[in-house]
Structure 1
Amino acid sequence: MATNSETLVTVFGGSGFLGRNVVRALCRRDYRVRVAVRRPELAGYLQPSGRVGQVHTIQANLRYPASVEAAMRDSHIAINLVGILAESGAQTFDAVQAKGAETVAKAVAAAGASLVHVSAIGADAESPSRYAKAKAAGEAAVTAAVPSATIVRPSVMFGPEDQFTNRFAALARMSPVMPLIGADTKMQPVYVGDVATAIADAVEGKAKAGATYELGGPEVLTMREIMQAILAIADRKPMLVPLSFGLARLKAAFLQFAPGMLKLTPDQVTLLERDNIVSDAAKAAGLTLEGLGITADSLEAIAPQYLWRFRPQGQFQRKSA
């Protein structure tokens, strides 16, 4: 049996938020890591994740099967992290999360390698959300091509550099009023480091082959409670104004063309209409973080380590009443 240092893991989408955490987790376990991304020249920051020569970046685009097949050459294990929250040009949900996942799975099968595929809680072929439908189609394609693949479904992830807690804290710094969409929708925020650990565990064979794991944090919180926690950590006090889903969709019709953190799409509003939590079936089957022996970190424990920068007077500001 090959040792970790002799095992080559190809990580598709390894330069993203989850990807950089996965690369670090693999490097700590002494794996050789090949990071396949569309723009490898922009992923140099991954090199210090491991020792000299441990991390290598190459070009691959899931819309071009030949590039995916080349990325799998001599690889023993693949991890597919590629996903988008909003469509842009040729980067559609179907092209990236359905057909793209199928392309990776077929290349993995042809290479005789193992596969860990990252999807999302809420993936559902019957969902009104095109994002969730594409995630479900990707899962089906992966299972058809590589029946032994481990599928990982995280809830909404938080951590340094996320586009979730940082986004709301930044908006709170800019505006005295913040709209609240899906105030009563339940979520189970999960620390990105815990998800990366679970994926590394799956690479090591600690997860059940052919199983689908649902990864959530230790607390189930409403969107209102999450926002209140973020604002408390950032010591910001904007007025939270709940929006109905109808008004939110109307707002998203315009904001889908907005830049950066202001962007909001109708499909994202649709996603907020459904709870995003670990299912009872996954808990009963042990297909969770706890089932992998991982003690999940809470939002309250982790977020203050990086959201302090949004406080009016910075890290050492005394807590206001």
Structure 2
Amino acid sequence: MTKPRLVTVFGGSGFIGRHLVKRLVARGDRVRVAVRDTEKAAFLKPMGDLGQISFVPASVLDDASVARAVAGADAVVNLVGILAESGKATFQRIHVEGAERVAKAAAAAGVGRLVQMSALGADETSDAVYARTKAQGEAAVRAAFPGATVFRPSVVFGPEDGFFNLFAAIARFSPVLPFFTQTAPALKRDAAGRPQIDLVGDGGPKFQPVYVGDVAEAILRSLEPEAPTGVTYELGGDEVLSMRDVMKLVAHETRRSRLIVPLPMWVADVEATFLQMLPKPLLTRDQVKLLRRDNVVSGALPGLRDLGVTPTTVEAIVPTYLVRFRTMHKQIILRDPHRTDR
């Protein structure tokens, strides 16, 4: 066992953060969880021994709180990110300015390792502000802390995810599970030249889901002394699923007979115009722009296996938590799967 480190984790109470904290304390490290609301993060305490996990109120939008959070740390991990803008929490402020603030503070404090969580598809030329600011955040972090390690995961799945759980919740009430596509429905001709309607097309955008435990393990290994620095990793599982495949999987695992139908992207744009007005938007127009491109690894950058992590399959994990959405589990699915206070 190497010497215990002090690791500051921004966003440590989030989906990926809680899995990372669990692994860090199991290794013997001390963990400082930097979050806006320390009381809501208290559920992490039982994961470690007495005093092993501490909490510090911090916002990546505030210089002083970030400086306090990284002071004396051996390593810093920034997992803070948003999927939709709300008030002062804009993509520019969180993904770019916030990431840069953490990197600058880490450099000034003499931190040895810095990990920045980005996203697969980060691209400064993207039409989507989300992807554009993720790329700009990477650049800002690299400028302030050249040795930073950057992770770009595809859709992350696990018991607390907002992906498979969302579609499973929709399947409880809706007789239809739609998938958005740019190639269907369309009029085509079969081998004999007869016209027919294609209701599948390419199945919609493709994803390469990666298990949250694998992402946490990859981060843990990137913090080891022998791990290379200044590397960008693309994280994806071994399976590539179209949006139609995802809906079929959800219908199967929830044991609900649902009609899986294609919807043109313009319909997604219309729906997003209204859904993005919700306090917690189910879909935004910026997200629709993301759906116009596949979310799979390029193969040009290292991935999980380069860190010694064998990808966990969707089939090994997803059924274990979607079971609660089956009709015989009504007493379970009425509970909020995201609550952590029990």
TM range (shorter): over 0.9
Per the alignment, in what secondary structure is the counterpart of residue 280 of structure 1?
A: coil
- Structure 2 CA distance for aligned equivalents of residues 91 and 217 of structure 1: 30
Higher helix share: 1
CA shift, 1:135, in A, is 0.3
Unpaired stretches in structure 2, ≥5 consecutive residues = 182-202, 331-342
**1:241-295 C-alpha deviation (Å, 9 max, x unpaired):** 21111111111000112355x621101111111111111212xxxx111111111
Work out whether residues 206 and 292 of structure 1, in 8 Å CA contact, stay in contact via their aligned partners in 2. no
Per the alignment, in what secondary structure is the counterpart of residue 151 of structure 2?
A: strand
Corresponding residue number in structure 2 for 1:318:
none
Q: Give the paired residue count.
A: 308
Per the alignment, in what secondary structure is the counterpart of residue 152 of structure 2?
A: strand
Corresponding residue number in structure 1 for 2:320:
305
The counterpart of 2:268, out of the listed 248, 251, 268, is: 248
Which residues in structure 2 correspond to 1:170-189 (within 5 Å)? Answer: 170-182=169-181, 183-189=203-209
Per the alignment, in what secondary structure is the counterpart of residue 152 of structure 1?
A: strand
- Structure 2 CA distance for aligned equivalents of residues 136 and 197 of structure 1: 23
Change in 2 beyond 3 A, CA 1:77/1:174: same
CA shift, 1:206, in A, is 4.9
Greater mean deviation of Cα atoms: 234-243 or 177-186:
177-186
Corresponding residue number in structure 2 for 1:276:
295
Per the alignment, in what secondary structure is the counterpart of residue 177 of structure 2?
A: strand
Greater mean deviation of Cα atoms: 294-303 or 234-243:
234-243
**1:110-169 C-alpha deviation (Å, 9 max, x unpaired):** 011120111010000000000001100110011001111111111100001111111100
Greater mean deviation of Cα atoms: 268-277 or 200-209:
200-209
- Structure 2 CA distance for aligned equivalents of residues 92 and 259 of structure 1: 14
Greater mean deviation of Cα atoms: 141-150 or 234-243:
234-243
Corresponding residue number in structure 2 for 1:265:
284
Corresponding residue number in structure 2 for 1:86:
84
Work out whether residues 179 and 204 of structure 2, in 8 Å CA contact, stay in contact via their aligned partners in 1. no
Amino acid aligned to 1:302: I
Per the alignment, in what secondary structure is the counterpart of residue 258 of structure 1?
A: coil
- Structure 2 CA distance for aligned equivalents of residues 177 and 222 of structure 1: 17
**1:148-193 C-alpha deviation (Å, 9 max, x unpaired):** 1111111100001111111100110011122212442111000000
Per the alignment, in what secondary structure is the counterpart of residue 128 of structure 1?
A: coil
Work out whether residues 181 and 269 of structure 1, in 8 Å CA contact, stay in contact via their aligned partners in 2. no
- Structure 2 CA distance for aligned equivalents of residues 242 and 4 of structure 1: 54
- Structure 2 CA distance for aligned equivalents of residues 109 and 31 of structure 1: 21
CA shift, 1:100, in A, is 0.4
Per the alignment, in what secondary structure is the counterpart of residue 281 of structure 1?
A: coil
CA shift, 1:208, in A, is 2.1
- Structure 1 CA distance for aligned equivalents of residues 234 and 227 of structure 2: 12
Work out whether residues 222 and 307 of structure 2, in 8 Å CA contact, stay in contact via their aligned partners in 1. no
Which residues in structure 2 correspond to 1:1-321 (within 5 Å)? Answer: 3-5=2-4, 7-113=5-111, 114-182=113-181, 183-260=203-280, 263-282=282-301, 287-314=302-329
- Structure 1 CA distance for aligned equivalents of residues 77 and 115 of structure 2: 5
Greater mean deviation of Cα atoms: 229-238 or 112-121:
229-238
CA shift, 1:240, in A, is 1.9
Corresponding residue number in structure 1 for 2:186:
none
CA shift, 1:25, in A, is 1.2
Per the alignment, in what secondary structure is the counterpart of residue 105 of structure 1?
A: helix
Per the alignment, in what secondary structure is the counterpart of residue 311 of structure 2?
A: coil
Structure 2 length-normalised TM? 0.87
Work out whether residues 229 and 300 of structure 1, in 8 Å CA contact, stay in contact via their aligned partners in 2. no
Work out whether residues 4 and 29 of structure 1, in 8 Å CA contact, stay in contact via their aligned partners in 2. no
Work out whether residues 184 and 222 of structure 1, in 8 Å CA contact, stay in contact via their aligned partners in 2. yes
RMSD of aligned residue pairs (Cα, Å): 1.4
CA shift, 1:296, in A, is 0.7
- Structure 2 CA distance for aligned equivalents of residues 27 and 165 of structure 1: 28
| Structure number with larger C-alpha Rg | 2
**1:187-224 C-alpha deviation (Å, 9 max, x unpaired):** 10000000000000011135421010011011111111
- Structure 2 CA distance for aligned equivalents of residues 153 and 251 of structure 1: 28
- Structure 1 CA distance for aligned equivalents of residues 329 and 61 of structure 2: 43
- Structure 2 CA distance for aligned equivalents of residues 153 and 206 of structure 1: 21
Corresponding residue number in structure 1 for 2:336:
none
Structure 1 length-normalised TM? 0.93
Per the alignment, in what secondary structure is the counterpart of residue 224 of structure 1?
A: helix
- Structure 1 CA distance for aligned equivalents of residues 225 and 235 of structure 2: 17
Change in 2 beyond 3 A, CA 1:70/1:31: same
CA shift, 1:229, in A, is 1.1
Corresponding residue number in structure 1 for 2:334:
none
Change in 2 beyond 3 A, CA 1:53/1:225: same
- Structure 2 CA distance for aligned equivalents of residues 101 and 259 of structure 1: 25
